[in-house]
Chains A and B, each alone.
Chain A
Amino acid sequence: MGADTIDKVLMTGNEAMAEAGIRAGCRAYFGYPITPQNELLEYMSAHMPQAGGAFIQAESEIAAINMCYGASAAGVRTMTSSSSPGISLKMEGISYIAGADLPCVIVNVVRGGPGLGNIAPAQGDYFQATKGGGHGDYRMIVLGPSTIPEATEHVMLAFELADKYRGPVMILADGMLGQMMEPVVLPKPVDPATLPAKPWALTGAKGREPNIVTSFYLDPEELNMMDVKRESRYRQIEEQEVRYEEHETADATVVIAAYGSVARIARTVVKMARGEGIKLGLLRPISLWPFPYAPLRAIADRVDAILTVEMNAGQMVEDVRLAVAERAQTPFYGVLGGLVPTPKDILREVKRYAG
């Protein structure tokens, strides 16, 4: 029985994100194999044609993202997925998608890096995802799910945000989220025909003026106008789309800042610490761009330390420090190479700042 007939199922994160994409009304998926993301592509190869959508295993990630550009320009909800090295190849395309104001959902099942790195879970692509990656002045909404049910919800949300703000949206998962299995409640399928019309789409200039999808504006005045318009949309996103979760922060003296799989581990640490009488809390950024600066700043005023924990050498911690602005200590604990921190390791770090 296919997942389309059941609503609660046990699935890997990769499969769940793929099924959620189809249910979100995505009717075009283009990808290229790379571990630990393969199951997403494979699921799409079987299920996208059944849903009446387009699936292509492209010749490269570059081709895949540019196929997305074309399909999205035609007005269809479009998705691609990859893992770190492949995402690097997509970056030029993502910049063009942002520059042409096209919606597109990109899943990055992050693995160890740099270079070929390895296939273990990591968070080394935070800078690339949230600070640019591709060229030019653009921003990309980045969602960092920490469980498979949440990753599933984020796919639906990502399509809504991409359409609403007309730009690329990335789901920054990791190898653990992609490969692990969890029970998920799948969202109700969206019928693409019921989605709001896209009057800008390339559907043939019948009975209307031609539509143009481009990022090219030779005249600096004109490019400036397009950029400024996009910037104002980015400000709107910063005002309206900040998402985060606070866990046991009310009386905390130390708070962990962590996203994704690490945040999930950090919840266990909070429980362990509380068992030992340590007032530990967790702030989990859900939207990595826009980043929850204000909530972190508010917490900083009442705690001794905000300990950022990441599976990298310290990337999100720069945003945490920007938010905290020396109102509290902002230590960092990171593991590299595709290693995953244990609750015990994190608790040991916490104890250095508690009490």
Chain B
Amino acid sequence: MPVSTENMVKVFERPNSLNESQFSYCPGCHHGVVTRIVAQTIDELEIRERTVLVAPVGCSVSMYQWFRCDGTQASHGRACAVATGLKRVNPNLIVFTYQGDGDLAAIGTAESIHAANRGENITVIFINNQIYGMTGGQMAPTTLLGQWATSCPDGREGSLAGYPLRFAEMVAQLEAPVYVTRQSVYDQKRIMATTRAIMKAFRYQVEGKGYALVEVLTNCPTNWKMGPVEANRRLADEVVKTFPLGDLVDRGQSG
């Protein structure tokens, strides 16, 4: 039976910063949640017409196709360098990168650290799903010890493959960053906290305060070979032990 929408109130809609196209993420993937939060933030700050997004190489490679703002696509790992170039020649732009753990913390470690160390006035959204999603589930620098991946079939062995890289902690050692935080989206409370963190990171950029990093612990149901509910449980019970949640640096409050 057709349902009449006449007396209904719209309480949830697509952010204005997104166009009509569908995300290419797998069902149940947290990428979609975080991407949507970014779009909402752009709406709320009314910065869509000033925003340039820098997509990485990873599952969010074609992110610029879903947003109604200017966008580009960087080579694997170099998003922070591309963002630096954009922002330095046009400081009026709001520039953000959105990068996976392989992109940001393996191949792009140098670019990511040095943009942070220069205090580039950009926002970096770091999707830590502890795996290489796009290429089919290989080990990432953030893969937990003992975690299975297609390129560590016996589980990650620290003495051979290194240890989970805590990028937020590394960046928090630097003098320039104004905001460094680690969040997750495995439940409603965490989604709200991530929303607030991403809002703060963008707001600091709008206010000219400088570099902000929001690391978000996310899932990869496809390559973890887990249902979304089980994946949420893994994040809450296991992953947060290696990657503790919370703000590491917030130098933007005053002034």
Residues of A within 8 A of B (CB): 27-28, 30, 53-54, 56, 58-60, 62-64, 66-74, 76, 78, 92-93, 96, 100, 202-207, 210-216, 218
Contact = CB atoms under 8 A, between A and B. Distances in A.
Contacts of A66: 74-75, 78, 81-82, 85, 111
Given A53-B89, A69-B75, A216-B61, 18 more contacts: A56-B118, A62-B110, A62-B111, A63-B111, A66-B74, A66-B82, A66-B111, A69-B78, A71-B88, A93-B78, A96-B75, A202-B86, A206-B50, A210-B67, A210-B68, A213-B72, A214-B55, A214-B64
B50 A73 contact: no
Interface string B45-62: 000111110110000011
B71 interface: yes
Contacts of A212: 64-65, 70-72
B93 interface: yes
B89 A202 contact: no
A227 to B, nearest CB: 17
A219 B163 CA distance: 37
B73 A70 contact: no
B22 interface: no
Interface in B130-172: none
Contacts of A216: 61-62, 73
B88 A204 contact: no
10 contacts: A56-B118, A58-B114, A68-B85, A69-B78, A72-B85, A93-B78, A202-B71, A204-B93, A210-B64, A211-B70
Contacts of A59: 110-111, 113-114
B69 interface: yes
Nearest to B65: A212
B5 interface: no
B69 A63 contact: no
Interface in B79-125: 81-90, 92-93, 110-111, 113-114, 118
Given A63-B110, A66-B75, A218-B62, A205 B69 contact: yes
B68 A205 contact: yes
Nearest to B85: A70
A28 B49 CA distance: 23
Contacts of B73: 100, 213-216
A205 B48 contact: yes
B49 A27 contact: no
Contact of A74 (B55, B62, B75, B86): B86
B83 A70 contact: yes
Given A205-B48, A206-B50, A218-B62, A28 B88 contact: yes
A193 to B, nearest CB: 14
A67 B88 CA distance: 9
A323 B126 CA distance: 52
Interface centre among B61, B84, B85, B114 (most CB of A within 10 A): B85
B147 to A, nearest CB: 29
Interface centre among B69, B82, B111 (most CB of A within 10 A): B82
B83 A204 contact: no
Interface centre among B67, B84, B86 (most CB of A within 10 A): B86
Contacts of A58: 81, 114
Contacts of A204: 49-52, 69-70, 92-93
